[in-house]
């Protein structure tokens, strides 16, 4: 079985020694090629090459950004039964995707699980989300997307990482709080949510689009605005019509404690199992996919892509 291991040497917990141990662990079962990423978007290029060259499996060693890039490389020509399966080994700061799959969140435990699954021939086919905007190519996402506040926070954290600061969970939390209180526009809602055949929902400050649950993690604690979201269904959306302190704190508290029902409140908008939604804005708004900041847009359409990729699990 031919496999390509795409490793991100800049991921939070990646070390050359750990990578070499993993290569030895897989080499007994696979005809393995190691490929290290050297720049943003490189994992997409490598995964696309693996698909063109007929590899059986692509294994990622990195964070959620590496997984996202690899998925977009594998599906560059669209979902197909001929696309290599994807195996995920976590070495980022949060590793949301691998944790939502129910796999071990440590690299060694995930390696054992992937090896067991490969030997037994176990796969799971999951749905993805896809996002597109005028003038841009469609891009897949595995677990979440966002327009507004969360994307602004991702942008700020990426700026700090570029300056040398580590991307720990605490940094996201403190950046989100600081940005909410003094950075984002809390007076002028810009977003309108549209679904085919349904009335628009306007006056939104932010929107989270979920392909699964939870949306993210704060340490070991799941953050769950849309707990009914599932890889086997359509997309869920959580939106807020107010960023005042009381409704925002209420929403955050529910996200941290709920396990079965979406966040409730008169300022909350929820959509469940949507095939397609479009978010339009009266000014450019920050936009992110799987924790990767993608600039500002006035309109983004999100669609559900069922049975898009096979996961070794």
Q: What is the CATH number of the domain that holds 41?
A: 3.40.50.10330
| Number of domains present in the structure of the chain | 2
- Containing structural domain, residue 205: 131-308
Residue that the structure tokens 């936009």 belong to: 287
Q: Are 2 and 31 in contact (CB under 8 A)?
A: yes
For residues 291-295, average pLDDT: 95
Q: Are 6 and 41 in contact (CB under 8 A)?
A: no
Dig out the tokens for 102 from the structure: 């129910």
Question: Do 171 and 295 have their domain in common?
Answer: yes
Question: Do 89 and 22 have their domain in common?
Answer: yes
Which pLDDT score, from 0 to 100, does residue 168 have? 64
The least confident of 7-21, 54-68, 149-163, 230-244 is 7-21
Cα–Cα distance between 309 and 312 in angstroms, integer?
A: 10
Cα–Cα distance between 11 and 91 in angstroms, integer?
A: 6
Dig out the tokens for 104 from the structure: 């071990």
Q: What is the pLDDT of residues 227-275, one digit of tens each?
A: 999 999 999 999 999 999 999 999 999 999 977 899 999 999 999 999 9
Cα–Cα distance between 58 and 155 in angstroms, integer?
A: 29
Which pLDDT score, from 0 to 100, does residue 197 have? 95
CA nearest 100: which of 229, 251, 293? 229
pLDDT at 300 > cutoff 80: yes
Question: Do 261 and 299 have their domain in common?
Answer: yes
Question: Do 211 and 303 have their domain in common?
Answer: yes
For residues 41-63, average pLDDT: 97
Res. 80 pLDDT band, cuts 50 70 90: very high
Give the pTM: 0.94
Question: Do 135 and 111 have their domain in common?
Answer: no
Question: Do 94 and 239 have their domain in common?
Answer: no
CA torsion 92-161-294-11 (nearest 10°) is -20
Cα–Cα distance between 94 and 169 in angstroms, integer?
A: 7
62 in a structural domain: yes
List all residues 6 or more positions away from 31 whose beta carbon is below 8 Å from its beta carbon: 1, 2, 3
Mean pLDDT of the chain, nearest integer: 94
Helix, strand, coil % in the chain, rounded to nearest 5: 30, 35, 35
Which pLDDT score, from 0 to 100, does residue 16 have? 77
Q: Which of 59, 87, 121 lies at the terminal end of a domain, its last residue? A: 121
Q: Calculate Rg over the CA atoms of the chain.
A: 19
If one counts every other C-beta atom within 10 angstroms of the C-beta of residue 69, the result is: 27
- Give, for 301, the enclosing helix (H) or strand (E): strand 292-312
Res. 167 pLDDT band, cuts 50 70 90: low
Question: Do 148 and 283 have their domain in common?
Answer: yes
Which pLDDT score, from 0 to 100, does residue 57 have? 98
Q: Which of 90, 121, 152 lies at the terminal end of a domain, its last residue? A: 121
Question: Do 111 and 143 have their domain in common?
Answer: no
Q: Which of 121, 156, 187 lies at the terminal end of a domain, its last residue? A: 121
Question: Do 296 and 266 have their domain in common?
Answer: yes
313 in a structural domain: no
Looking from the CA of 179 toward its CB, the CA atoms found within 13 Å total 17
Which segments of the chain does DSSP mark as H helices, in order?
A: 16-27, 42-52, 64-74, 96-100, 107-120, 149-162, 169-182, 245-257
The least confident of 167-171, 261-265, 288-292, 305-309 is 167-171
Q: Are 309 and 74 in contact (CB under 8 A)?
A: yes
């Amino acid at each position: 079985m031919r496999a390509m291991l795409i490793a991100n040497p800049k991921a939070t917990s990646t070390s050359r020694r750990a990578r070499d141990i993993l290569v030895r662990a897989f080499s007994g079962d696979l005809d393995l090629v190691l490929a290290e990423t050297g720049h943003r978007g490189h994992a997409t290029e490598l995964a696309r090459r693996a698909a063109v060259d007929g590899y059986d499996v692509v294994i990622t060693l990195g964070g959620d950004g590496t997984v996202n890039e690899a998925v977009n490389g594998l599906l560059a020509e669209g979902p197909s039964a001929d696309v290599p399966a994807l195996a995920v080994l976590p070495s980022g700061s949060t590793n949301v995707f691998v944790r939502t799959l129910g796999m071990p969140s440590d690299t060694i435990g995930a390696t054992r699980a992937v090896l067991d699954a490969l030997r037994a021939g176990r796969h799971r086919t999951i749905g993805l989300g896809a996002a597109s905007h005028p003038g841009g190519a469609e891009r897949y996402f595995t677990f979440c997307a966002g327009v507004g506040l969360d994307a602004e926070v991702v942008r700020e954290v990426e700026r700090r990482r570029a300056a040398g600061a580590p991307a720990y969970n605490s940094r996201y939390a403190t950046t989100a709080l600081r940005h909410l209180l003094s950075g984002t526009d809390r007076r002028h809602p810009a977003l309108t949510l549209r679904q085919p055949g349904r009335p628009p929902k306007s006056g939104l400050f932010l929107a989270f689009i979920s392909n699964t649950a939870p949306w993210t993690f704060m340490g070991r604690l799941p953050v769950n605005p849309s707990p009914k979201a599932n890889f086997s269904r359509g997309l869920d959306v959580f939106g807020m019509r107010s960023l005042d302190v009381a409704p925002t704190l209420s929403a955050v508290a529910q996200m941290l404690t709920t396990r079965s029902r979406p966040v409730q409140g008169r300022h909350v908008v929820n959509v469940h199992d949507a095939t397609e939604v479009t978010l339009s804005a009266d000014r450019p708004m920050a936009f992110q996919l799987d924790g990767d900041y993608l600039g500002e847009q006035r309109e983004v359409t999100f669609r559900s892509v069922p049975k898009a990729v096979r996961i070794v699990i």
